[in-house]
Amino acid sequence: MLRYLESGSGTPVVLIHGNFACKEWWREVLQDPPEGARLLAPDLPGFGESPAPEDFVPSIPTYAQALRDFLREKGIDDAILVGHSLGGAVAMEAAGPTTLGLVLLNSAPPSGLQTPEAYYPILESYRHNLEGLAQALAAMAPTRRPPWFLELVERAQRMHPAHFQGNARALAAWRLEQPYRGPVLVVYGALDPLVTRVMAEATAAFFSRGRLLVLEGVGHSANLENPGMLKDVLETFLKEVQGEVQGGG
């Protein structure tokens, strides 16, 4: 079973972290949950405190199945899935008919995300280069990092050995085959050095009910950089979804 953090009460809202991350990336969001939301933040297999077999091979479908299993174990049939970066791909892949909505935060696009081959040795080097990993993760939160940022870096370095290159290869190989048909909010931090605005626009356009929200003044990781702003975004989306459910839409 996946290890997780939980806070709040109401509609289940599942917070799915990205690569080199874990449930702790949502700590400040969990400390002040949106009104009416039961937040659950799991560690995907091989991240944080969730184990993975020694021969684990990362893939987006594998992560999505682990997430579906987690929700079933928790007795949750319908939830809003919030995916950050790689977690956005996992959310898209895991979404089903009972999913209430998707929030994709600086997410990999549904066409996958390519990493230049020359960069893979650098990813692998982060297994032993804490300073280099810290610099790379700091670039993903350019405007603000929490006081426990070094803890996040250390947790990242302890993830499954297959993850350092394997997650980038998983994103490069992945394509979303069956688009979710419910409401999709693509949230894009305008200062993101990794995911481009063109990618975010393409992600929103991919879904029949997708729309784009651009957040000025934040980069790749609003969950670290401005959790209060992200809380407001989630609260507004949750009210929209709840209104739709109550209206029978």
Give mean pLDDT, residues 28-32. Answer: 98
pTM: 0.97
Alpha-carbon gap, residue 249 to 242, rounded angstroms: 10
Distances (CA, A) of 153 to 58, 130, 149, 192: 20, 7, 6, 19
Q: Can you list the alpha helix ranges (DSSP code H) found in the chain?
A: 27-31, 60-73, 86-94, 120-125, 130-139, 149-157, 163-173, 197-206, 222-225, 227-246
Per-residue pLDDT of 139-161, as tens digits, reads 999 999 999 999 999 999 999 99
pLDDT greater than 60 at residue 20? yes
Per-residue pLDDT of 73-124, as tens digits, reads 999 989 999 999 999 999 999 999 999 999 999 999 999 999 999 999 999 9
pLDDT greater than 90 at residue 244? no
- 133-139 long-range CB contacts below 8 Å, 24 or more apart? 133/20, 133/157, 136/20, 137/20, 139/193, 139/219, 139/220
- Give me the phi and psi of 238, to 5 degrees please: -60, -45
248 pLDDT tier (thresholds 50, 70, 90): low
pLDDT greater than 70 at residue 170? yes
Residue 123 tokens read as 């990813």
Q: What pLDDT was estimated at residue 249? A: 57
Closest by CA position to 86, among listed 119, 120, 110: 110
Closest by CA position to 239, among listed 64, 96, 100: 100
Alpha-carbon gap, residue 191 to 215, rounded angstroms: 9
Between 3.40.50.720, 3.40.630.30, 3.40.50.1820, 3.30.565.10, what CATH number should domain 4-246 receive?
3.40.50.1820
Give mean pLDDT, residues 10-37. Answer: 98
Residue 120 tokens read as 């893979």
Give mean pLDDT, residues 49-71. Answer: 98
